[in-house]
Structure formats: C-alpha cells, structure tokens
Amino acid sequence: MTDAVPSSPRDRIVDALMTLAAEQPWNDIEIGEIAREANVTLAEFRDAFPSKGAVLAGLARRIDRQVLQGTSDDLAEEPARERLFDVLMRRLDAMAPYKRALRRIAFALRSDPLSLLALNGVALNSMRFMLAAANISTEGPLGNLKVQGTVIAFANTLETWFTDDDPSHARTMARLDREIRRGERFMERAEDARRLTAPIRALGQALFEGVRGSGRRRERERDRRRDRDDLADPAAAI
C-alpha cells in the first residue's frame, strides 16, 4: 500500500522542493523539475506559486500553522522569555524534517542579498505570529523593532541548529536562550532611550505643530486680504 499523496498542489510543490533541495544545489533546481517532482503541471505550479522563492514562503506558512495549532496556555504564567523560548523551540521541531534542505538553501542564499531581503519579509510575518503565540505584544512604537529583533535572534540560532545533531539539542537551546536574553536587554535599552527622548520628541512635535499652525494662519490672512481685494475690484462682479 502506497502512502497517500497530499491532495493540495501547494503541499506537493513544497514537499517536492524540499526533497530536491536536500540533494542538489539550490541554484540548480528549475521550476519544471519541481513541477515534475510534485506531479503537477506548470499551469498548476503558476496558480499555486509565482516563483521558487515563493515556495519557501509556503513552507514558512506551513510551519507557522503547525506551531500555532500546538499553542496552549500551559506557560501563561511564565516570564515572556520562557514563553518565547518554548514557541521558537517548537518551531525548530516543526522544521526538523526539512533540516538538510534548509541548511543547504541557507548556505546558497548567503551571497544573494535580494533573496535574503525577500526572506526577511517572510520571516517578519512568521515571527509576528510567533510572538503572538507567546502572548508578547508587537504593537506600539517599538513593535516592529521587537519583531525584527526576533527574526535576527532566530536566524542566529539557526546557525547553531544546522550543525547540532545531538538529539537533546543542548547547543541549540543554549544559543536560543542567549539570543533571547540579548534581545531582551536590547529592547530594555530601546525602551529606556524612548522614555529619555520623550520630552525632546514632544517639544519637537509642539514646535512642528506651531510652525504648521503659523503657516495656516498666514494662509488664512492672505485669503482674507484677497477676498477684500476682490470685493474692491469691479471685475469681481463679472
């Protein structure tokens, strides 16, 4: 009895790319080859994904879903650091079946800044949800900084995870803990800097509003003078 084939073309394409990437260089993998491996037509491929890189985004969404479906309130009373650690370790567990492929892809893309920039956008979307799963807010003035910091922390952890073949993942867990603590300290400094600069920012905003208000008053005064001039001009009645 053969294994059931995934019903979704998207899933088959993601699986096909991971299979190919585990065995051959990323830059050698062609779209047509992925389609054949996934047993889909090029038209079906195009309907599912616009590019090879977009398939990686599809994998990221699959991992997101798996982590989020496993989210519980067991750690609700734990510090934010522990909650995030748990979520990101579960993400690594979900990524484990694709570890060889992801390691080879990561190595290939190190010299491709445009692809790295695109993948950073994918990672930002994923980490926003990972932080939400850890019940950590990403709103407010420092929200985007928090998300980007988590992306960097996780990317740094992947460098260790790729070479950590110990079933206990002791090196990976130690690296992730260090990265989260480093990010925590950075956010504390950023929050302190924001509080310290609050009076300066408030003064700057007040000055800006004052300048803008003065400009509006001058415009209104010019409009009133024009109106008076128009009334005095006989041609205004035409």
Written out in words, the top-level CATH class of the domain with range 1-50 is mainly alpha
- Compute the distance between CA of residue 32 and CA of residue 38 in angstroms, rounded to an integer: 10
Kindly list the domain boundaries of the chain, sorted by start residue: 1-50, 72-238
- Per-residue confidence band for 75, with pLDDT thresholds at 50, 70 and 90: confident
Higher pLDDT among residues 87 and 72, named by residue: 87
pLDDT tens-place string over residues 8-59: 999 999 999 999 999 999 999 999 999 999 999 999 999 999 999 999 999 9
- Per-residue confidence band for 193, with pLDDT thresholds at 50, 70 and 90: low
**What pLDDT does 201 receive?**
46
- Compute the distance between CA of residue 88 and CA of residue 126 in angstroms, rounded to an integer: 11
Q: What DSSP state is assigned to residue 235? A: G
Average pLDDT over residues 115-144: 92
- Per-residue confidence band for 220, with pLDDT thresholds at 50, 70 and 90: low
pLDDT tens-place string over residues 95-113: 999 999 999 999 999 889 9
Query: Is pLDDT above 90 for 2?
Result: no
Query: Is pLDDT above 80 for 215?
Result: no
Q: Does the CA dihedral 152-188-81-172 come out positive or negative?
A: positive
Give the DSSP letter string of 107-146.
HHHTT-HHHHHHHHHHHHHHHHHHHHHTT----STTHHHH
**What pLDDT does 73 receive?**
77
- Per-residue confidence band for 235, with pLDDT thresholds at 50, 70 and 90: very low
| pLDDT over 90, % of the chain | 65
| pLDDT over 70, % of the chain | 78
| Average pLDDT over all residues of the chain | 85
**What pLDDT does 228 receive?**
59
- Compute the distance between CA of residue 88 and CA of residue 152 in angstroms, rounded to an integer: 13
**What pLDDT does 77 receive?**
83
- Compute the distance between CA of residue 153 and CA of residue 172 in angstroms, rounded to an integer: 12
- Compute the distance between CA of residue 88 and CA of residue 127 in angstroms, rounded to an integer: 9
**What pLDDT does 170 receive?**
96
pLDDT tens-place string over residues 80-97: 999 999 999 999 999 999
